[in-house]
Structure formats: structure tokens, C-alpha cells
Amino acid sequence: MSSRVLRVGTRGSALALAQSGMIADRVARLAGATVELVRIRTEGDVNTGPLATIGGTGVFVTGVREALLDGRADIVVHSYKDLPTAPTEGITVAAVPERESPFDALCARDGLRLDDLPRGSTVGTGSPRRAAQLLARRPDLAVVPIRGNVDTRLRQVSEGHLDAVVLAAAGLNRLGRADAITDVLDADRMLPAPAQGALAVECRSGADTWFTEATRTLDDAPTRAAVVAERVLLRDLEAGCSAPVGAFAQVQGDALTLRAVVVAVDGSSEFRVHRAGSPAAAADLGARAAADLIGQGAAGLLGAR
């Protein structure tokens, strides 16, 4: 029996446990280790008020990273789209594993698809990006702000309080709730949040240990290139994770393509870009796309910056 123990820091939400558990099992198997889950309760879990009033989604990330930095955990796993774009001193993204579905999913009553929702239907989402793109296509819908974990949101539909909710397909898939999806919103209808569906596996910088070595082997180069392009775009727009910015990059053959949109929160106007580059120059592609959007006047839709 091996004496190696991989300590994986994780929040206690169902999604966090599913994601951390899946990565932990893969790293542990590669390293011949056993897994110890280190539960972390963050400010965002304790305080359920509107995220904007308690410091944004960063409140979830900070608590988890503290466990890494003070040595309680060896690795931590984040939904990449929840990470701020600025790098953190002392922490390295050791792996960006192969991406799950990057797309958003409509979960509606009675199996309805977006175009079949009756006029005036209520759709729950707390995301300005999702709200704006829904309203751009269906101005008649009533977007209702909601928060809470995936199960709480799905219950709003199953209990008849809302006609539909929009959630990341990746989260639903990882939680085994793909059955709730009635319409996967492809890139032509809704561009996802930068890095949606991707995970970031973090280790302390400079620690060349058995667990960083094993973690690095989970890195997927095409996913990393796509995520770099999407997040450099977000960074250069100086927009946060709740900004009305959609972006989707993918490696196709030798090329990396990037599509992005900045939308008015009421869906009344938008700026778009579609560019291609080399996967080796992913950051440059994101930067050029952001400059293009700013040149079109997109900064005016990004609000106070």
C-alpha cells in the first residue's frame, strides 16, 4: 500500500466536489497515491447575499487558494471561468484538462427549446451575459435574476416557479443532470463565458513534487490555447466574470479561432469579432480581438471600469 496522500482542497458544493473528486482521482491514480479531500468553507458559501455586495465570485476562489498557500492542500481545482484574470503570486495553473462542453444549456419545462418558449416566458439567470443574449434573440422573454446552486435553480423549473433557467452544460454534465437540458445553446445563439467548461488545477509555484508532476500530465494543449485566448480578451476588455462578454475559442486543424461578443445588458446592441490565429500565439489572438472590439466602441457597454 502506498503512503502517498494527495490532499485536494475543495469547497463543499456538489459541483466543486464532483470536479475536485474527478481530478483528484486522475492525479492520484497517475501518482499511485490515495486522496484526502480537504473541505474549505469560503465567504461566498457562508454569505448568500447578492455576489456583487460581497466581493464577486472572487470570494469563492480566495478561500480555496489560501488552503493551497498555507499548505493545507497540495492541489485545488477551480471552474476556470470563476478565476480572476490577474495571476496570483505563488500559484501556478499546473494543468488545464480537456474541456467539457463550453456551451450554455436551456433547461425548460415540458422539453421546450428556446425558440418554442411561449411569448413572455420567464427565464431565470443571474448572468448579464446570458440575459443580454437571450433578450437579443427573444426580446419578449422575462428574464428573472436568480442565484444558488445548480439543484436550487433546476427546482425553480420543476416546481413551476419559472418556465426555464440557463446553466452551463458542463456543470450539469459533471453533476449527472444532463437529463434536465432541453436545448444546448450553440455558439450561434449564445457565446459562453470565457473559459466556461474548463477547469484550472492549481499548485504552489516552484514545488517540483510528485503531485505537480502528475498534475501536469493532465494538461490539454488545445484547451489551454483556447482558454488563454478567451481570458486575454476578457482581461484586455478590463471586464469581470459577470460582464456581458461572451467568448469561444477552439483549435480546428492548425488554427485557433476566436469568436467574441460584448452585449448591452438589455440586448439592444452588441459588438462582435471573429478571428483566427495560431494556437502558439493564443494570447496575441485574444489581445487582437479585444482591440478590435474596443475599436468598434464596445467599451461603452462594459460600464464602470
Catalog residues that contact ligand PBG under the rule CB under 6 A. 79, 81-82, 167-168, 170-171, 196-197
Contact (CB, 8 A) for 281 and 225: no
Across 41-148, the runs of DSSP E, i.e. the strands, are 75-79, 91-95, 104-108, 122-124, 142-144
- Shortest Cβ 135–ligand PBG spacing (Å): 18
Please confirm, yes or no, whether 82 is among the known catalytic residues.
Answer: yes
**Smaller CB separation from ligand PBG, 196 or 212:** 196
**Smaller CB separation from ligand PBG, 31 or 166:** 166
**Smaller CB separation from ligand PBG, 167 or 229:** 167
- Shortest Cβ 66–ligand PBG spacing (Å): 19
- Shortest Cβ 215–ligand PBG spacing (Å): 18
- Shortest Cβ 64–ligand PBG spacing (Å): 13
Which residues, other chains included, contact 214 with Cβ-Cβ below 8 Å and sequence gap of 6+? 27, 30, 31, 33
CA distance 73 to 82: 19
**Smaller CB separation from ligand PBG, 42 or 79:** 79
Catalytic residue chosen out of the listed positions 82, 163, 183, 236: 82
Q: What grid cell was written down for 97?
A: 484538462
Across the chain, the runs of DSSP E, i.e. the strands, are 5-11, 34-40, 75-79, 91-95, 104-108, 122-124, 142-144, 164-168, 183-185, 199-204, 245-252, 255-263, 270-277
- Which residues belong to the active site? 82
